[in-house]
Chains A and B, each alone.
Chain A
Amino acid sequence: MTPENAGEFTAAGQELLQLITPAGERISHPEFDFWVKDITDEQLCSLFEDMTVIRRIDVEATALQRQGELALWPPLLGQEAAQIGSGRAMRADDFVFSSYRENGVAYCRGVDLTDLLRVWRGNASGGWDPYSINMATPQIIIGAQTLHATGYAMGIQNDGADAVAVTYFGDGATSEGDVNEAMVFAASFQAPVLFFCTNNHWAISEPVRLQSHIHLAERATGFGIPSLRVDGNDVLAVMAATRLALDRARRGGGPTFIEAVTYRMGPHTTADDPTRYRDANELEDWAAKDPISRLASLLDRKGLLTAELQQQVQGKADSVAAEMRRGCTTMPDPQPMDVFKHVYSTPNSWLERQQDHYARYLASFGDPAGAVSEEGAR
């Protein structure tokens, strides 16, 4: 068997949880309807707004990159339901440890829009104070954050609290040692952690079948962690699964693994070119399952998709995008000596000496800015 044909040999695996069909039909589920039974029409409209807004944020950030305002951007196009459905299921005192693509989750946590861009503009290594929104600065090392979430969850346990640590990672990350070790620890200590695996089918150019011959959700079972496969383009299904997992963790039931099956409609980052490795037909197939159109169809069937709603949502999305763009272009540049800040939290003689010497070096030009220009000042 080669990775290319592995899919054909996959076990039947778990049911794919779905509450809204791609055509926008609400289908009932004996177990999971319970978890979204309180969702009102108004809340459905609000989820539609959230998803539209984060897509607009994503499009705007991609444009900012193309215009040279950002060095790089990792688009989330196509993953809006997975991020909003889970992000809106959490409590403020839960704590998120994510990868770099969960900008929609950060939006749910209440991130400042300018903070979303700091890293990508090259102005900082982390965009926000993690404690201000209970979300760690996004992790770039693949899968490393799953251990942080597990440790945080062990801390919650020690504190006797009922919060949950939620970690987001991709299909590629499931091959990393850290993710597997995190599941071992989470299971051993029955830590209140939710492993939210966004299976968007691609780890840069590597298809998910190269990472695994079975559904990713099935891997968790081997660790003794209950798992769910959910249609990641179905915002209600994602929310229902996330609520179930969070509730289980709060009640001392330990970790849960959710595989949200979705698709990365865009490139890995703005530096990537997916036409080199994937079939345009595949993209077309997934476009038909678009998470936002799906919810729009449901709203339409329910008579909720009024012109007024659409106008209001678009207006919100546009104003958020404009605010973010303003935040981006007016962001003050960091100062040269900032490079030495926060390496340590206590004085360090080695660094103080280097800092002192560099300050003298800059001062030797009279104009500190000149010393760091590309051409050099000498």
Chain B
Amino acid sequence: MTQLTFARAINAGLRKSLENDSKVVLLGEDIGALGGVFRVTDGLQKDFGTHRVVDTPLAESAIVGTAVGLAYRGYRPVLEIQFDGFIYPAFDQIVSQVAKLHYRTRGAVKMPITIRVPFGGGIGSPEHHSESPEAYFTHTSGLRVVAVSNPQDAYTVIQQAISCDDPVLYFEPKRRYHDKGEVEETAALASALPMDKARVLTQGTDATLVAYGPLVKTALDAATAAADEGISLEVIDLRSLAPVDYDAVVASVRKTGRLVVTHEAGQSGGLGAEVAASITERCFYHLEAAPVRVTGFDIPYPYSKLEMHHLPGLDRILDGVDRALGRPNSLSGLEG
């Protein structure tokens, strides 16, 4: 076991993948000498060379589009999109090409491309640096989408993503980059929890609280606070956003009868809607109350002095828990 920051854990995972497979190449803006704006790729170009860790011109569509060509040639490109809000110029290449080429070629051409995206807010940045665009990609068939919440998963899942033959969007909660955690670097990848499985973090009996990425820590804090009030929350780290591991969520909700889903992204058409609908379909007769969503607002990501109002924090999550439990809450007395 080693103590690593989140960013170093991803770095260690990338290093391992570069060592294990000569077809792995990294592409992105400022990922070479600088080591990325968050230093996630620190030292990799020095150790693996400019042909494997490639500083690209500033063109996101081209980063993804050339990765498609590299994948055609048998490579496993790992791309860094510098910030969540910079991914949109590459949207067509991701949605129309990366996601669909395996289907288009009836399985002849694989697209083992990993797209790393630092995402989420809470770092006091200007516009386009704090977004949560995951739902655009969970809605796109052909892609796998994961969001990691802790250094150990960051280390393991990046390697699983790179070795996966399907394209993977790998969302990194940038406000957690400096959080430290224990990372087991020697464990075999094969024995790790598969990338598409959720993880139950705390056993509970009163409500299921589903989170992913940056809000997993907030959800755990909320569970601790709730326990002080005698409320037992079962916290699930979703990890995989497409596909969602519904078996895990269903098992939990059948036990607790209540569901709260939280994410930073806006509410309408978000992943919480998908989880709430699917759980309602599968667990209707086990539910004691309507599923509750605690999410960002349906607004452009706000200027940083107000971002903490937009981001679900511990208290807003607990207010949502109160709603699910029928306890007095901020919406008490409101109909519908």
CB pair B102–A343 under 8 Å, yes or no, is yes
The proximity string for B residues 104-118 relative to A, scoring 1 for CB distances below 8 Å and 0 otherwise, is 111111100000000
The proximity string for A residues 124-163 relative to B, scoring 1 for CB distances below 8 Å and 0 otherwise, is 1110011100001100010010111111111111110000
Number of A-B residue pairs at CB separation under 8 A: 146
CB pair B65–A346 under 8 Å, yes or no, is no
Interfacial chain B residues near A154, Cβ < 8 Å: 66, 69-70
17 CB-based A-B contacts, threshold 8 Å: A129-B108, A144-B92, A147-B68, A148-B65, A148-B69, A151-B68, A156-B73, A158-B75, A184-B59, A184-B62, A342-B103, A342-B105, A342-B106, A345-B102, A345-B166, A348-B144, A348-B243
Flag whether B83 is at the interface (Cβ < 8 A).
Answer: no
CB pair B74–A155 under 8 Å, yes or no, is yes
Which of A75-83, A175-183, A261-269 has 4 or more CB atoms under 8 Å from chain B? A175-183
- Select which of A125, A129, A144 is within 8 A of B93 by beta carbon: A144
A315 CB → nearest B CB, Å: 34
Looking at A151, A184, A185, A188, which has the most chain B CB atoms within 10 Å of its CB? A151
CB pair B141–A343 under 8 Å, yes or no, is yes
With contacts A151-B65, A341-B106 known, is A95 near B72, CB below 8 A? yes
Flag whether A277 is at the interface (Cβ < 8 A).
Answer: no
Looking at A147, A158, A177, A188, which has the most chain B CB atoms within 10 Å of its CB? A147
With contacts A178-B61, A188-B57, A344-B166 known, is A151 near B102, CB below 8 A? no
Main secondary structure of the interface of A (DSSP, over half): helix
- Select which of B69, B104, B243 is within 8 A of A153 by beta carbon: B69
- Select which of A151, A342, A346, A350 is within 8 A of B70 by beta carbon: A151
CB pair A165–B69 under 8 Å, yes or no, is yes
- For the A-B complex with A155-B75, A158-B51, A181-B65 known, give 14 more contacts whose Cβ atoms are closer than 8 Å: A125-B103, A144-B65, A147-B62, A155-B69, A155-B74, A178-B61, A181-B57, A184-B62, A185-B57, A343-B102, A345-B102, A346-B166, A348-B144, A349-B246
- The chain A residue sitting closest to B77, CB to CB, is A151
A343 CB → nearest B CB, Å: 5
Flag whether A351 is at the interface (Cβ < 8 A).
Answer: yes
- Select which of B25, B72, B142 is within 8 A of A148 by beta carbon: B72
A162 CB → nearest B CB, Å: 14
Interfacial chain B residues near A141, Cβ < 8 Å: 92, 96-97
